[in-house]
């Protein structure tokens, strides 16, 4: 019961924060906000806990409760004030609520829709059952994330030798702390460090990601195809059955995939509507993407870069009208100032990629390129047991009309994914590790970060194709009737 | 239209029959040859081999589902001529094939998830959390047991190994503190006493880097 209350608390706080940030004129439905609320709630709580720890306050039960109460109370109060204001202005402000999603809930569902819902539900049940039925067994889940969570929970802070002493054994000391702080929060409020309980957060992220992808694809494809796409996405083996990175494994890659998908889709909406409410959510998801894993920095960079390029070249915005992008990115990073300050105190035990990425190193490592490219091809096309036919689908959609794919209004999703792969390629060129040992175990998890973006791009392009098809069919019918 | 539907259901029957036959013929066989294709590191390991043993069941279950789907489809087609796959349209053959392939792999993947979960629950029903972890980690877990049994929770341990296993020990044996000397190749005997004393090291643990897994856990006479 207590565990359920903790998860409900994270959900509610996440929902309220999203609701407040989205504002009155948001095009997001409450149910869409609910979909994203667990991820947002985890992020907000972990940031709050980190601020407490940064200022030297112990993360004991009392302080965690005070933080939870103040976050809940504060967000409820703000939400209430905004709702009252909204009520007062309802006559004058026309809220653009989305009735044109093509997701009519009133028409009866077809067999295909029921089958898609059944597959999605079955995947969720499998992932939850898998998570709660066994303790943490995957390597990173134990050695990296749960170890940090244990230190945060039992030592109640971040200024201890487990983090700060370079000779104390600690895997990936400098990794951001969203995941372990959320685990410590769950442990603290649920009454103890139980691996099976703290593991439940990962299936929750999985459900959030499914709902996010489902709503976004439904928006473009309509209810029937949106549901079918959701079923296909939910059943991606990399999420459901992959032991070292899947939704039940306890790795941080799925939460990172969720945050970067939320970030990219909000930016896409901003490109399409220019709405400020999207930018507020973008700032939040920028912070949370950066605070989840080191790769978040690369992802944030490529997503913002792709958005700026698309705004300039596809949406034909002048450079002067692009100022919200850097200011939002900066705003998102500002939330993390304490983390960046703290990170400077952490010992550098592992390799520093930023320092390794020099022209000289890239040229030296150039002979690794064939192996790296071969591994990428193998990952996308020869691993249906992880990615189904995602790679083939992307190639199919691209080859259908390369020119329109490049200039597509959904291009930021494709370009973010491709730029990320280029960046990964560059890192693999300079990394001082044996690639034959590293790539087979790391690449699948890295691809997981951009898989939802690639999937959404495929869906959106197919939706476009469907609309064109309908348009041509309509023209043909008209001609025949003449 | 009827012809197309008949062809669809016949395909499902055919695929179902083949899958059931394949599952039947593969049951009991050594499927380690599949490890390089589906495994991460390309080499067979015990958890992967355990999963591969489920492949015949997966094929058989999916085959039965195909047959059932075909039977239900035929029944519904007779009852209502509008029933059946209704996602056809003017889409290219390539796209339809892709969606069909995606759906096929999705069904296999969901089935595998369910079978694997059921199998694991059946096998580990009576095990405690620690026993499940031990079962999953295999021989490596022996070292966790030994260190836990021999050292107090307050122990400060110098560890010397290149194995990633050290990080699992770090987690499993918390709150014991593990330290490593910055020159990881230096034998424990050559590590300066002053450094050991400064760190309050009271145990040393040396684990072999190569196979087989061997380790030496020794108390250290502290002089701090």
Res. A89: pLDDT tops 80:
no
Query: Helices A201-234 and A30-54: crossing angle, nearest 10°?
Result: 150
Taking the C-alpha atoms of residue A78 and residue A436, their distance in angstroms, rounded to an integer, is 53
Q: Are A244 and A139 in contact (CB under 8 A)?
A: yes
Q: Is B41–A440 a contact, with Cβ atoms under 8 angstroms apart?
A: yes
Torsion of CA B67, A230, A125, A441, to 10 degrees: 100
Q: In this complex, which of B95, B98, B113 lies closest to A241 when CB atoms are compared?
A: B113
Task: Please report the pLDDT score of residue A295 as a whole number.
Answer: 94
**pTM higher than 0.90:** yes
Q: Is A134–B40 a contact, with Cβ atoms under 8 angstroms apart?
A: no
Task: Please report the pLDDT score of residue B3 as a whole number.
Answer: 77
Lowest mean pLDDT among A83-97, A307-321, B15-29: A83-97
User: A350-358 contacts: CB < 8 A, separation 24 or more?
Assistant: A350/A172, A350/A173, A350/A174, A351/A431, A351/A432, A353/A294, A353/A427, A353/A430, A353/A431, A356/A427, A356/A430, A356/A431, A356/A432, A357/A426, A357/A427, A357/A430, A358/A430
Q: In this complex, which of B106, B159, B175 lies closest to A235 when CB atoms are compared?
A: B106
Task: Please report the pLDDT score of residue A97 as a whole number.
Answer: 44
Among B113, B191, B205, most A C-beta atoms within 10 A, so best to mutate, is B113
Cα of first residue to Cα of last residue in chain A, in angstroms, is 68
What percent of chain A is modeled with pLDDT above 70? 93
Task: Please report the pLDDT score of residue A32 as a whole number.
Answer: 87
Q: What is the pLDDT of residues A26-51, one digit of tens each?
A: 778 888 899 999 999 999 999 999 99
Cis peptide before A370 (omega within 30 of 0): no
Confidence of residue B35 (pLDDT cuts 50, 70, 90): confident
Confidence of residue B192 (pLDDT cuts 50, 70, 90): very high
Q: What is the pLDDT of residues B79-125, one digit of tens each?
A: 665 544 455 556 778 888 888 999 999 999 999 999 999 998 888 77
Residues in A 412-451 with any Cβ partner in B closer than 8 A:
440-441, 444
CA-wise closest residue to A302 among A292, A310, A293, A314: A310
**Contact partners, residue B142, CB within 8 Å, separation at least 6:** B213
Lowest mean pLDDT among A147-161, A224-238, A332-346, B33-47: B33-47
Q: In this complex, which of B129, B167, B199 lies closest to A135 when CB atoms are compared?
A: B129
The full set of domain ranges for chain B reads 2-123, 132-219
Please state the rounded mean pLDDT for residues B175-186: 91
Lowest mean pLDDT among A106-120, A165-179, A324-338: A106-120
Task: Please report the pLDDT score of residue A319 as a whole number.
Answer: 80
DSSP letter string, B166-202: HHHHHHHTTTSEEE--SSTTS-GGGS-HHHHHHTT--
* Mean of per-residue pLDDT scores for chain A: 89
Task: Please report the pLDDT score of residue A150 as a whole number.
Answer: 96
* Total beta-carbon pairs less than 8 A apart between chain A and chain B: 146
What is the SS3 assignment for B82? Answer: coil
Q: Is B178–A169 a contact, with Cβ atoms under 8 angstroms apart?
A: yes
Q: Is B8 on the interface with A (CB under 8 A)?
A: no
- Angle at the Cα of B35 from the Cα atoms of B30 and B36, rounded to 5 degrees: 135
Q: What is the pLDDT of residues A435-454, one digit of tens each?
A: 888 888 899 999 999 999 99
Taking the C-alpha atoms of residue A244 and residue A445, their distance in angstroms, rounded to an integer, is 8
Taking the C-alpha atoms of residue A15 and residue A28, their distance in angstroms, rounded to an integer, is 12
Residues in B 173-212 with any Cβ partner in A closer than 8 A:
174-175, 177-182, 199
Q: What is the pLDDT of residues A197-216, one digit of tens each?
A: 999 999 999 999 999 999 99
More confident site: A104 or B177: B177
Taking the C-alpha atoms of residue A452 and residue A258, their distance in angstroms, rounded to an integer, is 8
Confidence of residue A100 (pLDDT cuts 50, 70, 90): very low
């Amino acid at each position: 019961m207590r565990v359920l209350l903790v998860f409900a608390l994270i959900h509610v706080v996440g929902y309220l924060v999203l609701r407040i940030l989205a504002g009155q004129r948001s095009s997001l439905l409450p149910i869409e906000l609910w979909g994203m609320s667990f991820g947002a709630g985890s992020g907000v709580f972990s940031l709050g806990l980190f601020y407490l720890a940064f200022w030297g306050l112990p993360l004991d039960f009392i302080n965690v409760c005070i933080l939870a109460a103040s976050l809940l109370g504060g967000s409820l109060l703000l939400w209430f004030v905004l709702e009252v204001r909204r009520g007062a202005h309802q006559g004058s402000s026309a809220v653009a609520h989305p009735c044109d999603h093509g997701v009519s809930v009133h028409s009866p569902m077809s067999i295909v829709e029921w089958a898609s819902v059944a597959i999605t539900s079955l995947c969720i049940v499998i992932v939850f059952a898998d998570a709660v039925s066994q303790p943490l067994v995957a390597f990173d889940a134990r050695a990296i994330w749960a170890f940090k969570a244990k230190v945060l929970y039992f030592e109640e802070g971040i200024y201890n030798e487990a983090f700060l002493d370079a000779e104390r054994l600690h895997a990936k000391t400098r990794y951001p702390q969203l995941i372990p702080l959320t685990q410590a929060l769950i442990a603290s409020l649920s009454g103890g460090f139980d691996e099976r309980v703290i593991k439940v957060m990962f299936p929750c992220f999985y459900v959030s990601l499914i709902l996010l992808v489902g709503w976004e694809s439904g928006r473009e494809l309509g209810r029937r195809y949106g549901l079918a796409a959701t079923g296909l996405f939910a059943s991606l083996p990399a999420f459901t059955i992959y032991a070292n990175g899947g939704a039940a494994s306890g790795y941080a890659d799925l939460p990172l995939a969720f945050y970067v998908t939320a970030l990219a889709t909000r930016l896409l909406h901003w490109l399409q509507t220019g709405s400020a409410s999207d930018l507020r959510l973008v700032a939040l998801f920028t912070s949370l993407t950066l605070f989840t894993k080191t790769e978040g920095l690369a992802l944030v960079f490529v997503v913002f870069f792709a958005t700026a390029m698309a705004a300039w070249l596809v949406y034909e915005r002048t450079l002067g009208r692009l100022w919200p992008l850097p200011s939002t990115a900066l705003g998102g990073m500002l939330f993390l100032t304490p983390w960046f300050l703290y990170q400077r105190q952490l010992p550098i035990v592992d390799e520093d990629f930023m320092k390794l990425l020099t022209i000289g190193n890239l040229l030296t490592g150039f002979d690794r390129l064939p192996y790296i490219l071969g591994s990428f091809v193998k990952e996308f096309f020869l691993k249906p047991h992880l990615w189904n036919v995602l790679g083939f689908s992307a190639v199919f959609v691209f080859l259908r009309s390369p020119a329109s794919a490049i200039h597509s209004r959904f291009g930021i999703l494709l370009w973010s994914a491709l730029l990320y792969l280029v960046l990964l390629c560059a890192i693999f060129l300079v990394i001082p590790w044996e690639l034959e040992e590293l790539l087979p175990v790391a690449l699948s998890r890295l691809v997981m970060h951009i898989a939802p973006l690639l999937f959404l791009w495929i869906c959106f392009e197919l939706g476009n194709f469907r609309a064109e098809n309908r348009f041509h069919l309509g023209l043909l019918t008209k001609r025949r009737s003449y | 239209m009827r012809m197309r539907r008949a062809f669809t259901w016949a395909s499902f029957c055919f695929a179902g029959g083949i899958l059931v036959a394949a599952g039947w013929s593969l049951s009991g066989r050594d499927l380690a040859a599949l490890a390089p294709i589906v495994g991460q590191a390309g080499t067979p390991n015990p958890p992967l081999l355990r999963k591969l043993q489920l492949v015949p069941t997966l094929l058989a279950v999916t085959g039965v589902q195909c047959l059932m789907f075909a039977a239900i489809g035929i029944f519904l087609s007779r009852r209502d001529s509008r029933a059946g796959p209704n996602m056809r349209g003017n889409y290219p053959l390539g796209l339809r094939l892709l969606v069909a392939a995606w759906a096929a792999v999705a069904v296999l993947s969901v089935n595998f998830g369910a079978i694997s979960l059921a199998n694991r629950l059946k096998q580990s029903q009576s095990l405690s959390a620690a026993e499940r972890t031990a079962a999953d980690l295999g021989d490596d877990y022996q070292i966790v047991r030994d260190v836990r049994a021999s050292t107090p929770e307050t122990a400060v341990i110098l560890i010397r190994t290149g194995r990633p296993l050290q990080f699992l020990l770090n987690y499993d044996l918390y709150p014991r503190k593990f330290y490593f000397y910055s020159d990881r190749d230096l034998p424990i005997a050559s590590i300066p006493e002053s450094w050991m004393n400064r760190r309050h090291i009271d145990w040393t643990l040396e684990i072999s880097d190569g196979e087989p897994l061997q380790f030496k856990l020794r108390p250290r006479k502290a002089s701090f």
